[in-house]
Structure 1
């Protein structure tokens, strides 16, 4: 089934799939060359922007400064989300204070580390896929439909317009 979502519904779908989840952040180093790295999403905010912690001096941040276009790819078990957007990197101590936790000490020297920055991705377009009844039931329905030669509704897909 296809169900496109807009505005607040689209933001809520992105929040449900992505908040505090790991994604692949894909940056571009040259035309048609993509580099992907796992990133933990701090939040999808009320405007639909994705927030992450990044180190100011890493390759990914340098790539973003050269080309702001990025992709975010999520799979949280029963849902998938692909986001294309424009990234900005900045320092905002209030956001750092809000989201910083001891796990971040693996990458940073505390919340006052000068290399600790916020990466914000503003979506330009997004698409989601959600299975109707979870992974195991979906696999069962797919196998049954394959054997019977039938079509089956295994979930919902659509564009997210913000």
Structure 2
């Protein structure tokens, strides 16, 4: 049972499918119903994902036994901070020990980009994600940004 974590362009077939699954999952949970393909298309349109490539960021694809299982990105906000974004494991791969290593590889990617601190925002209903972050040393911080789906902010020194 092997996990691998590799940088990948956001527009590859695997990365695109994972980003669609991520958006469908978080939007569906928010709306309390499955997101439609049109809603997923709309949500991904102009979402700034192109910045998740050096020198402004990095996008990773997590694979379990070679199969695309999850993803995540880091985005430099300034010379010191990177934002953790789009962290996701497909439901069938949860509980297989991949979330912590994915987070660790994303933190390493942020360090390579020069960040000394990781920050993130999320929603209160995403309890699994919040538990993952706090389990790995993230603590609640004051809001560093605003938006309609931002309810709690976390940070961690790298």
Same fold, TM-score > 0.5, yes or no: no
What TM-score, normalized by structure 2, do the two folds share? 0.26
Higher relative contact order (CA 8 A, sep 6+): 1
Q: Which protein has the bigger strand share?
A: 1
Please report the TM-score for the alignment, with normalisation by the length of structure 1.
Answer: 0.26
Which of the pair has more CA radius of gyration?
1
Q: Which has the higher helix share?
A: 2
